[in-house]
């Protein structure tokens, strides 16, 4: 590997903790900040945030040679703002350099050429904050309304990535009227991103007050699920469990009352395949078009427009939802075959995730019980083959005692239960999931249902 020589003022991609490689600039550290001992590192200020840190040289890459590579593998709103901030910074620097050159050419004719001006200014705070607003930038604030879409290519005959992409461009929202039912942890982020990307959205929620914020952002209000479906071309729903999904469709003033030929209904809730097949049957019996599209992710990923969507059912509905899926997700997959296949896949995904979370909690508590440092346990995990944003975030939650829900514990336990039942239906053993399910049931008995799934940790310490 060729040696890359870096110096103060260079633009770089730096890897900081659980975050993806992020654009930044090497700067001089504050005088009172000592350089860490050990491997060679540089002090980096990251664009679009207030973050700065010592970064090991092996975690740094020059900005320009790796720009296209990084843009293709990252897509979040915060990331896009950071890239936009770099480009704006470069424009300003180029303008300063041009002005300087013009001035020098006029005043220095006949004199010996001076050393070139250093155009990277270390105190240009606006560039790092992503703009010139008086409001301080926060690493948790949304970055921009632009969203880059990454085209996924898969050779599978049964799974195909989303067809409609807009590399390096903004999403063109569909002209179809969109409805959305359910504004919980996941649904709220989805609706917010649909609105930001210019979609016309009508919302409904069982607790009507949750609609107020979205009405202020430009959404329309539907009084009942039936009214939303009758007003819209495509209606999405995202609720907590199979009973809620059935009630929404079959209950009084439910979806079925508003279905007419050609109306599209997209079920995004994670439920069992039997529920999906029942809903598909009743929707299509009224001339409606049905798609299931459960999502993999969390509240934060929903807010960031970084969900993974797994769809099955009517392929033409999937295609009609293209701009919506681009707004709400990192990528989407269509699984061929009958409706219910996406539910099966999502239950398997969540079964693995839930079992893994229980194992992480078990490891943390065993480390503590044997006198080992839980922080060291986490550091080792995050520097090994099991390193992931999921591991880092959930372990940090546990160490900080922060169990604010990002994905409800009661919902991951529901998914485990449904996955185990699905295994039973095909006589397939699921012993790991069954063991994890018992731990989550214990956590629920300890009143942890409405906490984050990482609160399964408490089942091991009580």
CATH number at residue 44: 2.30.30.140
Last residue of a domain, one of 89, 117, 147: 89
**pLDDT at position 100, please?**
56
Q: Are residues 174 and 308 in the same domain?
A: yes
Q: Are residues 308 and 367 in the same domain?
A: no
Are 82 and 50 within 8 A, CB to CB? no
**pLDDT at position 17, please?**
60
**pLDDT at position 94, please?**
74
CATH number of the domain encompassing residue 201: 3.40.50.720
Q: Are residues 351 and 331 in the same domain?
A: no
Looking at 59-63, 146-150, 217-221, 298-302, which range is the least confident one?
A: 146-150
* DSSP string of 233-288, one letter each residue: SEEEE--SSHHHHHHHHHSTT-HHHH--TT-EEEE-S---HHHHHHHHHHHHHTT-
**pLDDT at position 319, please?**
95
The pLDDT of residue 112 is above 60: no
The pLDDT of residue 119 is above 70: no
Are 364 and 435 within 8 A, CB to CB? no
Q: Are residues 357 and 322 in the same domain?
A: no
> Does residue 307 sit in helix, strand or coil?
strand
Nearest-angstrom CA–CA distance, 61 and 54: 14
Does residue 453 lie within any of the structural domains? Answer: yes
Q: Grade residue 66 by pLDDT with cuts at 50, 70 and 90.
A: confident
In the sheet with 11-14, reading across from the earlier edge strand, the strands are 52-56, 41-46, 22-26, 11-14, 60-62
Are 14 and 55 within 8 A, CB to CB? yes
Structure confidence by residue, pLDDT tens digits, 319-350: 999 999 999 999 999 999 999 999 999 999 99
**pLDDT at position 14, please?**
87
Structure confidence by residue, pLDDT tens digits, 156-169: 333 333 333 332 23
**pLDDT at position 453, please?**
98
Are 107 and 69 within 8 A, CB to CB? no
Q: Which residues pair with residue 260 across a beta bridge?
A: none
Nearest-angstrom CA–CA distance, 133 and 111: 42
The pLDDT of residue 443 is above 50: yes
**pLDDT at position 171, please?**
75
The pLDDT of residue 71 is above 70: yes
Half-sphere exposure of residue 418: CA atoms within 13 angstroms, side-chain side? 28
Structure confidence by residue, pLDDT tens digits, 387-427: 998 999 999 999 999 999 999 999 999 999 999 999 999 99
User: Using CA of residue 212, residue 213, residue 217, residue 220, what is the dihedral sign?
Assistant: negative
Q: Are residues 310 and 390 in the same domain?
A: no
Q: Residue 371's domain spans which residues?
A: 345-459
Structure confidence by residue, pLDDT tens digits, 79-92: 888 888 888 888 88
Give the largest CA-CA distance in the chain: 90
Last residue of a domain, one of 272, 307, 339: 339
Q: Tokens in use for 71?
A: 């843009």
> Which of these, 347, 462, 365, lies nearest to 416 by C-alpha position?
347
Half-sphere exposure of residue 48: CA atoms within 13 angstroms, side-chain side? 21
Looking at 111-120, 145-154, 216-225, 412-421, which range is the least confident one?
A: 145-154
Q: Grade residue 170 by pLDDT with cuts at 50, 70 and 90.
A: low
Structure confidence by residue, pLDDT tens digits, 370-390: 999 999 999 999 999 999 989
Q: Are residues 352 and 397 in the same domain?
A: yes
**pLDDT at position 149, please?**
31
Dihedral (C-alpha) 281, 284, 289, 291: value to the nearest 10 degrees? 0
The residues, any chain, with a CB within 8 Å of residue 402's CB and separated by 6 or more, are 396
Q: Are residues 169 and 275 in the same domain?
A: yes
Last residue of a domain, one of 316, 339, 362: 339
Burial class (CB in 10 A: 0-12, 13-18, 19+), 177: middle
Structure confidence by residue, pLDDT tens digits, 261-313: 999 999 999 999 999 999 999 999 999 999 999 999 999 999 999 999 999 99
Q: Are residues 433 and 416 in the same domain?
A: yes
**pLDDT at position 165, please?**
33
**pLDDT at position 162, please?**
37
Structure confidence by residue, pLDDT tens digits, 127-146: 555 543 333 333 333 322 33
- Would you mind telling me the total number of residues written for the chain in this entry? 462
Q: Are residues 335 and 349 in the same domain?
A: no
**pLDDT at position 50, please?**
73
Nearest-angstrom CA–CA distance, 449 and 409: 5
> Does residue 201 sit in helix, strand or coil?
strand
Report the number of distinct structural domains present in the chain: 3
């Amino acid at each position: 590997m060729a040696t890359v020589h870096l110096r103060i003022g260079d633009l770089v991609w730096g890897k900081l903790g659980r975050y993806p490689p992020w654009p930044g600039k090497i700067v001089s550290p504050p005088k009172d900040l000592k350089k860490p001992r050990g491997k060679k590192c540089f002090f980096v200020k990251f664009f679009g945030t207030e973050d700065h840190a010592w970064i090991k040289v092996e975690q740094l890459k020059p900005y320009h040679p790796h720009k296209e590579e990084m843009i293709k593998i990252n897509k979040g709103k915060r990331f896009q703002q950071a890239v936009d901030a770099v480009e704006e910074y470069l424009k300003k620097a180029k303008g300063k350099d041009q002005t300087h050159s013009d001035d020098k050419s006029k005043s220095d004719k006949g004199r010996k050429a001076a050393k070139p001006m250093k155009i990277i200014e270390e105190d240009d705070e606006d560039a790092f904050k992503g703009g010139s607003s008086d409001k301080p930038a926060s690493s948790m604030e949304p970055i921009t309304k632009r969203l880059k879409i990454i085209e996924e290519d898969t050779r599978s005959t049964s799974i195909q990535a989303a067809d409609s992409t807009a590399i390096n461009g903004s999403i063109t929202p569909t002209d179809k009227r969109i409805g959305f039912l359910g504004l919980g942890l996941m649904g709220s982020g989805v609706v917010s991103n649909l609105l930001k990307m210019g979609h016309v959205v009508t919302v409904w929620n069982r607790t009507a007050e949750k609609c107020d914020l979205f009405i202020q952002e430009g959404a329309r209000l539907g009084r009942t699920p039936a009214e939303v479906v009758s007003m819209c071309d495509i209606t999405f729903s995202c609720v907590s469990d199979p009973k809620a999904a059935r009630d929404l469709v079959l209950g009084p003033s439910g979806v079925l009352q508003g279905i007419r030929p050609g109306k599209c209904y997209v079920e995004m809730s994670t439920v069992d395949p039997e529920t999906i097949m029942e809903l598909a049957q009743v929707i299509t019996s009224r001339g409606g078009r049905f798609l299931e599209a459960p999502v993999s992710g969390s509240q934060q990923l929903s807010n960031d427009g970084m969900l993974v969507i797994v769809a099955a059912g009517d392929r033409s509905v999937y295609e009609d939802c293209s701009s919506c899926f681009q707004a709400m997700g990192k990528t989407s997959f269509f699984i061929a075959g009958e409706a219910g296949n996406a539910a099966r896949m999502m239950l398997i995904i969540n079964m693995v995730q839930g079992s893994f979370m229980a194992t992480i909690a078990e490891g943390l508590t065993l480390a503590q019980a044997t006198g080992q440092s839980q922080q060291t346990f986490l550091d080792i995990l995050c520097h090994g083959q099991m390193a992931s944003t999921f591991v880092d975030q959930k372990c940090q939650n546990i160490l900080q005692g922060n169990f604010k829900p990002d994905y409800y514990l009661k919902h991951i336990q529901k998914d485990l239960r449904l996955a185990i039942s699905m295994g039973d239906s095909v006589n397939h053993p699921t012993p790991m999931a069954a063991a994890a399910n018992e731990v989550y049931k214990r956590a629920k008995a300890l009143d942890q249902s409405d906490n984050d799934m990482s609160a399964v940790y408490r089942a091991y310490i009580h």
